[in-house]
């Protein structure tokens, strides 16, 4: 009997982890985001887009932990300008509560609150069982993945890549070069996500005047470190970031005034 009970528990948790909505085909819905824009799911899908939906609350720990990572995937895949559309659907919050959450945890893609934006109705219709539940929907209205877990940047990106998502990072004003033109001089950014400080490991091939900059997503330079003339080789730079707000940033590495590499940074 004890063994049977254990097997039942294992089966229950396996099912719970594999699907947080019983749907395998999307139900249409219409929500209003915090900017007042109306989003109809089937209209977005019928334009040939995949839709990644983040069902979340403002109070759950996982929602707070993974918000910057989900937003990073939004940046990686074109800020809703390519073939992946990111949409947040909240449960239980007003517009003002959701706006504060999004500011605190770095969500920049469209999001609808539970009370004011219609999110509660959608979540009840989709029978969402836990938060955050991140769902990926195909243009043919079938649900590709009922529960992306963990909803980290790497996990989400792997599903998008496997299903034909177009990777096209949204770089802010101030990053003059695209990733294709950069020279892979930044070897690592650690930790990332970061809280109080970040260590940048970079390499230069000749003696150059080095500057490290951090930009927010709209292109404002929020931190700068002038290193002066540095010799060829590997270098480590620790930068305090405890005064930066939570969210997504970009690191610029300049040599003799020119951008030679750039990297993403998430601040939690």
Superfamily of domain 16-162: Glutaredoxin (3.40.30.10)
Average pLDDT of the chain, as a whole number = 87
182 touches 262 (CB < 8 A) = yes
What pLDDT is recorded for position 246? 84
**ω before 191 within 30° of 0 (cis)?**
yes
Rounded CA-CA distance 30/255 in Å is 49
* Angstrom distances, CA of residue 120 to CA of 13, 38, 196, 267: 25, 16, 35, 29
Q: Are 225 and 148 in contact (CB under 8 A)?
A: no
Answer whether residue 230 shows pLDDT above 50: yes
Residues 65-88 pLDDT 10s: 999 889 889 988 889 999 999 999
Examine the pLDDT at 18 and tell me if it is beyond 60: no
How far is 191 from 193, CA to CA, in rounded Å? Answer: 6
User: Crossing angle for the helix pair 61-76 and 153-162, nearest 10 degrees?
Assistant: 50
So what's the pLDDT on residue 216? 85
Res. 172 pLDDT band, cuts 50 70 90: low
Q: Which residues contact 187 (CB under 8 A, 6 or more apart)?
A: 201, 202, 203, 234
Q: pTM, whole model, 2 decimals?
A: 0.66
Task: With cut-offs at 50, 70 and 90, classify the pLDDT of residue 8.
Answer: very low
Q: Is 48 strand, coil or helix?
A: coil
Q: With 50 as the cut, is the pLDDT of residue 139 above it?
A: yes
219 pLDDT above the threshold of 60 = yes
The pLDDT tens digits of the residues spanning 236-247 come to 999 999 999 888
Q: Indicate where the chain has its CATH 2.60.40.2550 domain(s).
A: 179-267
Fold of 179-267: Immunoglobulin-like (2.60.40)
Q: Is the pLDDT of residue 131 over 70?
A: yes
What local confidence, expressed as pLDDT, does residue 13 receive? 36
Q: Where in the chain is the domain with CATH 3.40.30.10?
A: 16-162
Q: How does pLDDT run across 185-216, given as a tens digit for each residue? A: 898 888 888 989 999 999 998 998 898 999 88
Mean pLDDT of 120-124: 98
| Angle subtended by helix axes 61-76 and 95-105, to nearest 10 | 70
pLDDT reported for residue 248: 85
pLDDT in the model for residue 80: 95
Q: What is the pLDDT of residues 22-31, one digit of tens each?
A: 999 999 999 9
Q: What is the pLDDT of residues 87-106, one digit of tens each?
A: 999 999 999 999 999 988 88
pLDDT of residue 260: 87
CA end-to-end distance (rounded Å), the chain: 46
């Amino acid at each position: 009997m004890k063994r049977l009970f254990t097997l039942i528990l294992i089966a229950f948790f396996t099912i719970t982890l594999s699907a947080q909505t019983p749907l395998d085909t999307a139900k249409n819905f219409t929500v209003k985001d915090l900017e007042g824009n109306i989003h109809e799911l089937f209209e977005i899908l019928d334009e040939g887009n995949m839709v990644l939906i983040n069902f979340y609350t403002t109070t759950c720990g996982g929602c707070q932990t993974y918000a910057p990572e989900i937003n990073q995937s939004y940046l990686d895949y074109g800020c809703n300008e390519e073939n992946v559309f990111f949409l947040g659907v909240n449960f239980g919050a007003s517009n003002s509560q959701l706006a504060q959450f999004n500011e605190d945890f770095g969500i920049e893609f469209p999001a609808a609150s539970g009370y004011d934006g219609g999110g509660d109705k959608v979540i009840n219709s989709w029978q969402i069982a836990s938060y955050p539940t991140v769902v990926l929907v195909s243009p043919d209205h079938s649900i590709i993945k009922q529960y992306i877990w963990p909803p980290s940047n790497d996990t989400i990106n792997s599903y998008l890549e496997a299903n034909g998502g177009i990777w096209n990072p949204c770089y802010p004003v101030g990053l003059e070069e695209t990733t294709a033109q950069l020279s892979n001089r930044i070897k690592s950014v650690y930790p990332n996500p970061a809280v109080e400080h970040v260590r940048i490991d970079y390499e230069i091939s000749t003696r150059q005047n080095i500057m490290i900059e951090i930009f927010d997503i709209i292109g404002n330079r929020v931190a700068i470190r002038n290193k002066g003339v540095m010799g060829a080789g590997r270098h480590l730079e620790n930068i305090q970031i405890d005064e930066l707000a939570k969210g997504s940033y970009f690191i610029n590495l300049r040599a003799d005034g020119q951008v030679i590499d750039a990297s993403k940074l998430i601040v939690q």
